[in-house]
Amino acid sequence: MKLNANYLNLKPSYLFSEIAHRLNAYCEAHPDNQLIRLGIGDVTLPLAPLVVEALREAASEQGKKESFHGYGPEQGYDFLRDAIRLYYEDRGVSLAMNEIFASDGAKSDTGNITDLFDKDNTILVPDPVYPVYVDTNLMDGRRVLYAAGTPENGFLPLPDENVTADIVYICSPNNPTGAVYTSEGLKAWVDYCVKHRSLLLFDAAYEAFVSDESLPRSIFEIEGARKCAIEFGSLSKTAGFTGTRCGYTIVPSELTFPVNGEEISVNSLWLRRQTTKFNGTSYIVQKGAAAAFSKEGMAECRKNIDYYRENANCIADTLKDHGIRFFGGINSPYIWFECPGGAESWEFFDIMLNRIEVVGTPGAGFGENGKNYFRLTSFNTHENTQEAMRRLAGLLSERS
């Protein structure tokens, strides 16, 4: 028996597991202190009333013989897939039902999609980046290259024709920086992938936070994307499903790549993978998700999104007042800012924790280009966010 030695190439612990470990140690030593958590991107507001009602009705159905549901279709019930289709149609993107696959979350699918790829593929990810993209490919032993996100390019790197990659990951709005690609920026990546017969994996988990109507929310708003891209969506932040778990993946029917001289449908491979290794998202959750995608459900969800936007504005205003350069916030739930005085991000994490008892996320956990940056989320309450900013303002005044 042999272990997968590629796991030994990973860092000892996942970023957010390391944060949790440090917080547990701090709380054990200071049991009476009140931490304010603006680190992990977990929502705090309850599910929308229409979603809760749909969950209740579905749970009630499961208690009656005539309406009980057992195994469902692995790719999702038609009622949910059609709701997703209509959600995209409202934004001018046409999808076929068989191109939509419901799942238990975008994080799962961005990792599971790697099952379809040969281990010899070269991966290109932005730096800084959501660590799941990197770790899931390192687990399979793939080579990972990085496209540098820097203040100079707004943390939105563009293709370099001198770099050839087989699979490209893009997250927009970006996690952790909150930066959002323009249509021109995404068109550059689509053109690159079409030219090189590369695959573009587009994570749209935060698309609902984009308030600027000139900015794209789906890769399929870009001409040519159906020939090269797969999109991952999530209800975790859109509808507060972080604990309820539901997402979806869109695989266009015309997306093909050659195997032994024959063009093979990626859609058919993903369907084969899902029907073998996934038994579908629960019926109850899918009913709640379908309610969230209805026009009334989206209106209720947007109230929560607007609430979090107010928190993002509060954080941004504090940083502006103290001359701290930051990114994100306007079209994203994340604020990405420079650590004061050139501090490294884990050092600043400890300062925030021990001095003002506010928890954020060190940028170093997202890549080399994040080592002097820090991420705060807008997913706490107004009261906690305002108190955290009062504390941060005091700290920044001391260090200026």
Domains in the chain (CATH in brackets) are 5-47+297-399 (3.90.1150.10), 49-295 (3.40.640.10)
Q: Taking each helix axis from N to C terminus, what angle separates 295-321 and 49-61, rounded to the nearest 10 degrees?
A: 140
Residue pLDDT tens, the chain, 400 long: 999 999 999 887 778 888 888 888 898 888 888 899 998 889 999 999 999 999 999 999 999 999 999 999 999 999 999 999 999 999 999 999 999 999 999 999 999 999 999 999 999 999 999 999 999 999 999 999 999 999 999 999 999 999 999 999 999 999 999 999 999 999 999 999 999 999 999 999 999 999 999 999 999 999 999 999 999 999 999 999 999 999 999 999 999 999 999 999 999 999 999 999 999 999 999 999 999 999 999 999 999 999 999 999 999 999 999 999 999 999 999 999 999 999 999 999 999 999 999 999 999 999 999 999 999 999 999 999 999 999 999 999 987 6
First-residue to last-residue Cα distance in the chain: 58
Residue 97 near residue 81 (C-beta atoms within 8 A): yes
Closest residue by Cα to residue 314 from 383, 239, 245: 383
Provide φ and ψ at 139, rounded to 5°.
-60, -30
Q: What are the beta bridge partners of residue 328?
A: 335
Q: What share of the chain is helix, strand, coil (3-state, %, to 5)?
A: 45, 15, 40
The pairing of beta strand 199-203 with beta strand 167-171: parallel
For the record, the structure tokens of 7 come out as 């796991």
Local structure of 249: helix, strand or coil? strand
Q: Which two tokens stand for residue 4?
A: 């997968």
Which pTM value belongs to this model? 0.96
Work out whether strand 334-338 and strand 326-328 pair parallel, antiparallel, or are unpaired.
antiparallel
